[in-house]
């Protein structure tokens, strides 16, 4: 039996919506991923391109997604279908919504592994494993964790199980209340750490690294990573913003709320960078250390600062919470799909989706712990399963998903219908050319450049 009732659920007000969307947006992407990809891609120039992507592509695409959801009032695939039908266009366009659900599922499979690292670090911080913050000891601690496949399996399984238990219950109220209390705390803690890092670490070296653009350090691949990350960090092209748009009350400005969500998300990422880089430079660490960067730098600060044990425990608890709320949002659309379309019970769906995630996560676990089965020899050298998955989702699937959303809302969907959703006429006049020409063209150019078809 197919449920086709339009969504009658609504966020209670504008603030509730902004908080929920910010909760989904702020996660590992801001605190774990943004600092390390900035390090790998040379700093300032990368940050600048990332900010440009957020402003000119991310925010317009977010508005497009929320508008699709608001008109469709359904799960992502179905909402896009509704808009296609109202515009007299092919039902195949619903694939645009479906692509997001699949991307979200694949992202989740490595998201749970990294959340597992953060969980392990709550324990390590509490046990005093950071010692006096000796950089060598802290680096060894991280290497010991990632080399221990069984430990990773244990932490990851705990995260998957917790996700399944909460999603299965369907009780979002308790969690959402916890999140709205914890997110401001996370923000305050980050701010406090930034002040500490600025006074104890090398503030100016970090500031220069993050904000003085040196374009000779930025490759075309770096531009793709910046573009992909702007989608990843705003939770775009992964179904969720269409879903949240379906719950949008009448009278909330899609434009203004999108700007706020993007602003908070970007702020958290920039502050996270200014927490991590002063420590990196003061201790002569490598900015391009990769996915382990925050786990190899922050513990140095926690080991050295007064009360660092408590601050460390608190910090990793917050990080796990930020990641956990994103994980719940990431699994929700597949669970909802199993319930609606496959007739699963809620619990059955949660366990089925969770089992799939768990199986997929084994690939990431095997590759971070350097097991040969997850390392492939290609003409470009050795590639790890985790790296492939990360690249395919964040840098290929999300930008292409965003491109299709831009094409669909800019060219295919009925213009009057979109104008009706994107509230004020002047906002629509600004948004429409951006989503119709600028966003698709920019995404296409980046891709053609990447594949070597053109050289700018
Ligand atoms: N934005 C999240 C982060 O930065 C990751 C993410 C991508 C996400 N797509 C999502 C979270 C969909 C929730 C729903 O960590």
- Exposure on the CB side of residue 374, measured as CA atoms within 13 A: 19
**Stretch 118-136: mean pLDDT:** 95
Instruction: Give the whole-angstrom CA distance, residue 258 versus residue 245.
Output: 11
Whether the pLDDT of residue 257 is over 60: the answer is yes
Of the candidates 61, 150, 132, 168, which has an alpha carbon nearest to the alpha carbon of residue 443?
61
- The CB-based long-range contact list for 427-433 (8 Å cut-off, 24+ gap) reads 427/253, 427/255, 431/60, 431/63, 431/255
Ligand 1: which of 35, 61, 269, 330 to mutate, most ligand atoms within 8 Å of CB? 330
Cβ neighbourhood burial of 444 (10 Å; 0-12, 13-18, 19+): middle
- CA 315 – ligand 1 centroid, Å: 20
* 375: phi then psi, degrees, rounded to nearest 5: -120, 125
Percent of the chain at pLDDT exceeding 90: 75
Contact at 8 Å (CB) between 338 and 344? yes
Whether residue 2 is predicted with pLDDT greater than 50 in this model: the reply is no
Task: Mark out the alpha helices in 369-451 (DSSP H runs).
Answer: 385-390, 398-407, 415-421, 425-433, 439-450
Cα–Cα distance, 361 to 56 (Å, whole number): 34
Counting ligand 1 atoms within 8 A of each CB, the residue from 20, 27, 58, 334 with the most, and so the one to mutate, is 27
- Using CA atoms, how far apart are residues 282 and 371, in angstroms rounded to an integer? 33
Tell me: pLDDT of 302 over 60. Answer: yes
Asked if residue 294 lies in contact with residue 142, where contact means CB atoms within 8 angstroms, the answer is no
Ligand 1 atom nearest the C-alpha of 27 is 15
Neighbouring-strand partners of residue 196: none
Cβ proximity of 267 and 14 under 8 Å: no
Q: Please choose from 107, 322, 393 the residue to mutate so as to test ligand 1's pocket, defined by most ligand atoms within 8 A of CB.
A: 107
* pLDDT higher at 71 or 448: 71
Mean confidence (pLDDT) of the chain = 92
Listed in sequence order, the DSSP H helices in 29-93 are 34-40, 44-53, 59-72, 76-86
Q: Which tokens sit at 74?
A: 């359904």
Give the chain's radius of gyration (CA, Å). Answer: 21
Lowest mean pLDDT among 8-12, 26-30, 367-371: 8-12
**Which segments of 173-244 are extended strands (E)?**
none
Helix (H) or strand (E) holding 186: helix 173-200
- Contact criterion met (CB below 8 Å) for 194 and 275: yes
Contact 67, 421 (CB under 8 A): yes
Residue nearest to atom 10 of ligand 1 (CA): 235
Q: Given pLDDT bands bounded at 50, 70 and 90, which one contains residue 185?
A: confident
Nearest atom of ligand 1 to the alpha carbon of 232: 7
Across the range 82-94, mean pLDDT stands at 95
Cα(29)–Cα(393) distance, integer angstroms: 13
Ligand 1 neighbourhood includes 30 CB (under 6 angstroms): yes
pLDDT value at residue 334:
87
Beta bridge partners of 384: 375
Q: How far is the CA of 232 from the centre of ligand 1 (A)?
A: 6
Q: Is 62 in the pocket of ligand 1 (CB under 6 A)?
A: no
In degrees and rounded to multiples of 5, residue 129 shows phi and psi of: -70, -15
Are 146 and 292 in contact by the 8 Å Cβ rule? The answer is yes
Residue 171 has pLDDT above 60, yes or no: no
Strands 375-378 and 381-384, by their bridges, are antiparallel
CA distance 114 to 175: 20
Verify whether ligand 1 is closer than 6 Å to residue 119 (CB atom): no
Is there a contact between 389 and 363 (Cβ–Cβ < 8 Å)? yes
pLDDT band of 1, cuts 50, 70, 90: very low
The number of CA neighbours under 13 Å toward the Cβ of 33 is: 28
Nearest to 25 by CA among 423, 401, 322, 451: 322
Structure confidence by residue, pLDDT tens digits, 334-373: 888 888 778 898 899 999 999 999 999 999 999 999 888 8
Read off the pLDDT of each residue in 237-258 and give the average, rounded to a whole number: 93
- Could you give the maximum distance between any two Cα atoms of the chain, in Å? 66
């Amino acid at each position: 039996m197919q449920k086709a009732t339009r969504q009658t659920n609504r966020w209670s007000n504008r603030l509730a919506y902004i908080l929920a969307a910010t909760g989904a947006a702020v996660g590992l992407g801001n605190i774990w991923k943004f600092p390390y990809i900035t390090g790998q891609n040379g700093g300032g120039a990368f940050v600048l391109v990332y900010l440009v992507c957020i402003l000119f592509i991310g925010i317009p695409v977010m508005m497009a997604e929320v508008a699709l959801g608001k008109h469709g009032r359904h799960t992502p695939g179905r909402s896009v279908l509704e808009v296609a039908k109202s515009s007299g266009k092919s039902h195949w366009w619903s694939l645009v919504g479906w692509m997001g659900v699949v991307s979200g599922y694949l992202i989740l499979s490595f998201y749970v592994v990294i959340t597992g690292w953060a969980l392990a670090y709550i324990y390590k911080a509490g046990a005093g494993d950071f010692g006096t913050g000796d950089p060598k000891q802290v680096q060894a601690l991280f290497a010991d964790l990632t080399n221990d496949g069984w430990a990773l399996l244990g932490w990851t399984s705990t995260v998957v199980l917790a996700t399944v238990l909460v999603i299965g219950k369907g009780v979002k109220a308790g969690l959402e209340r916890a999140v709205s209390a914890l997110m401001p705390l996370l923000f305050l803690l980050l701010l406090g750490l930034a002040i500490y890092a600025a006074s104890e670490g090398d503030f100016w070296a970090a500031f220069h690294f993050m904000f003085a653009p040196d374009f000779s350090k930025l490759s075309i691949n770096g531009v793709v990573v910046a573009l992909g990350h702007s989608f990843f960090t705003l939770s775009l092209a992964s179904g969720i913003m269409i879903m949240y748009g379906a719950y949008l009350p009448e009278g909330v400005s899609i434009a203004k709320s999108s700007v706020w969500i993007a602003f908070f998300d970007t702020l958290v990422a920039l502050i996270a960078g200014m927490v991590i880089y002063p420590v990196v430079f003061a201790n002569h660490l490598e900015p391009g250390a990769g996915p382990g960067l925050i786990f190899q730098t922050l513990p140095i600060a926690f080991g050295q600062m007064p009360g660092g044990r408590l601050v460390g425990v608190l910090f990793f608890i917050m990080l796990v919470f930020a990641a956990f709320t994103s994980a719940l949002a990431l699994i929700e659309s597949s669970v909802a799909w199993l319930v609606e379309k496959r007739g699963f019970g809620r619990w059955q769906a949660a366990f089925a989706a969770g089992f799939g995630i768990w199986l997929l996560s084994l690939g990431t676990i095997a590759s971070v712990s350097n097991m040969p089965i997850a390392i492939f020899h290609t003409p470009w050298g050795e590639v790890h399963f985790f790296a492939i998955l990360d690249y395919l989702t964040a840098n290929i699937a999300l930008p292409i998903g965003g491109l299709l959303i831009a094409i669909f809302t800019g060219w295919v969907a009925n213009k009057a219908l979109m104008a009706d959703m994107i509230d004020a006429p002047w906002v629509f006049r600004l948004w429409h050319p951006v989503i119709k020409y600028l966003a698709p063209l920019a995404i296409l150019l980046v891709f053609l450049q990447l594949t070597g078809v053109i050289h700018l």
